[in-house]
Structure 1
Amino acid sequence: MKRNNLWILILLFAMGSCADKNAETSSKSVEIAPVTLMEPAEATDDEFAGVKDYALEPRDKVELSIPNHVKIIKNGNVSIESKNITKSKKNLDALMKRFSAYYQQETTNNNNDLTSYNLIIRVPTTSFESMMTALESGEDNVTEKNISAEDVSLQYFDLQSRLKSKRAYLERYQAMVSSAKNVKELLEIQEQIRQLQEDIDSNEATYRNLSNQINYSTLTVNLFEYQANLPMGSNSFWVQIKESINFGWNIIENLILGIIGLWPVWIILGTLIFVIKKVIKKRKQKKNLENVQI
C-alpha cells in the first residue's frame, strides 16, 4: 500500500514539473523584442553617376503642409458722386493713410467746369471691407458698386509645391558638380542646373505677383462732381447758351480749317480763272482790231 502511494507522489511531482516548464515556455513566446526604427538612408552621389538616367520624382511625393484657409483675390469698382469734389478727394486721401492703401494710378479730368478723378487704389485685403464701409457711410453718394472675388488657392499652392520641388532638385544637382567624372558629365549637370534656375526664377516671379494680388486688393474709384454744382443747374438756360456759343465757335473753327485744308483746290481754281480771263482778254483785243481795220 505504501509502495502504491509512493508511485502516486512521484507521478504528481513529474506532472507539476512539466506544467512549470510549459508555463515558462509560453511566457517566453509572448515576450516581444523591442523594435528599432531605422531612418531612411540618404541618397548618395553614386546613385546619380549617370546624369541621363536620372529621372525627377513626381511632385506629389514632396511633402507640403497646406493651410486650411483659401487664397482669394478681391477686386472692386465704385462710382462716387460728390457735391464738394475738393473735400471728397481730401477725405479719400485720409482714408488711404488710415487703411495703409496707396494710389496705383491717379487721373484728373476737367470737362465743362466739372472735375472728376479716375483712381486705381491698392488696399490691404484685411482692410478692404472696412474701406468699402467707410466709403459707403460717407457724405457722398455711391452710385455704383461692383465687387468680385476669385479663389486662386489651387494655383497658389501648386506654385508653392513646384518651387519647393525644384529647389530640392537644384540642391541635389549642385551637390553633384563636385562628383562629376568628366567634362561632358559636368556640362550636362550645369545645363540641368541652368534650366532649373530659370524655372525657379519664373515661378518665383509668378508667385510674388500672385501673393501681391492676394495681399492687396484692387479698388477702382470714379469720383465725379455733382452736376447741379453748375450755375443754375446743369440744364439751365445760361448753360445752354454757353454750350450753343461753344458749338457755333467749333463750327467756325472747323469751317476755317476746312477752307485752309483745300489750298490745292484753290490754287488750281485760281490758275484756271487766270487763264480763262487771259484768253477772253486776247479774244476781245483781236476782235477790236478787226473792227478797226474794217
Structure 2
Amino acid sequence: MKAGNEKMGFIKEFEYLLKDNSGKDIEWFLKTTGVASFAISIATILILFTQNTTNFYITMVALAAFFTPFPLHYMLHHYLSELKKRKREQLIPDILLQASAFPKGTSFGKIIDYFSNARFGLLGKEFEKAQLEIGKGASVQQALDNISKRCRSDIVGRAMRLLKQGYVSGADMSTTFRETADDLLETNAILRERNAALVIEKYTLLFAGGFIVPAILGLLVGMVGSMDFAALELLEFGASAAEKGALLESTILANQIYIVEYSLLAAFFVALLEGNPKKVLVYAAFLLPISLISFNAAQFFLL
C-alpha cells in the first residue's frame, strides 16, 4: 500500500513538472518519449549488427537505449522546474520590499494589480493569475494560497502568508516586510554559495558515472580487443588466442558489473546530496543505460 502511494505521488509530481514547464500531460510525455525511445533502440540495433555482436548483447544494449530517454526527460523537466523555482524565490525580497513601500490603507486589489503588471518575471505571472481568480470571485486569501500551491516553494509560501496576514489584520506590516526581505536576501546569498558547491559535486558524479568511467573502461577493452592474439600464439608467447579471447569476454563482463555498481553508488550519493533518497531510482534509471551505452560506444570505437 505504501509503495502504491509513493508511485502515485511520483506520478503526480511528474504531472506537476510537465504542466509547470510545458503545459503538457503524461499522455503527451509517453507518446513523444516512446517514439524517441523506439527510434534510438532501432538505431542501436542496426549499429550493433554491423559489429557482429551476440543477440543477447544486442538485446540488452537496445533495451538500455530504449529506456534512457524516459529518465532523461524527467531530469530535464525537474531541472527546468527547479530553475523556475529559484527565479521565483529570488524575486520574493523585491516583492516584499515593494509591498512595504505602499502607503498604509492601500487596497490589496491595487497591490496585486501592481505586482501583476510590474516586471517581476515568473512571480508577476503568478500574481496575474491571482488577479484573474479574484476577478472570478475568489477571495484574496484563496488567491494567495493558490500562488503558494502552484510555486511549491517554502520561501514563496512564507511571503504569501505574510501578505495574507497583512490583508486579514489590516495592520501596518511594512516593517515586517522589510525585515523578512533582508533575511531572505542574506539566506539567498548563503544558499547560492552552498548550491554552487553541491552542483559541482552532483554533476561531477553524474558525468563520471554516466560517461567518463565507462568510456575509459570501454576504450581499454577496445584496445585489448584490437590486438592480434594470433600473432602472439605463433610466437608461443603466453596463453593461446582462444584463452585470451575467453579472458577478454570475462574482462568485459567484469567491467560491466563494475559500471553497474559504480552507477548505483553515484545515483545514491547524488540523491543524498539533494536530500531526497527517493530519487536514487530516478538517477539509477538515467545512469545505468547511459553508462552501458558509453562503455559500448567507446569499446567499438577501437574495434
Q: Shorter-chain TM-score category?
A: under 0.3
Q: TM-score, normalised by structure 2?
A: 0.27
Of Structure 1 and Structure 2, which has the larger fraction of its residues in helix? 2
Bigger-Rg structure (1/2): 1
Q: Which has the higher contact order (CA 8 A, sep 6+)?
A: 1
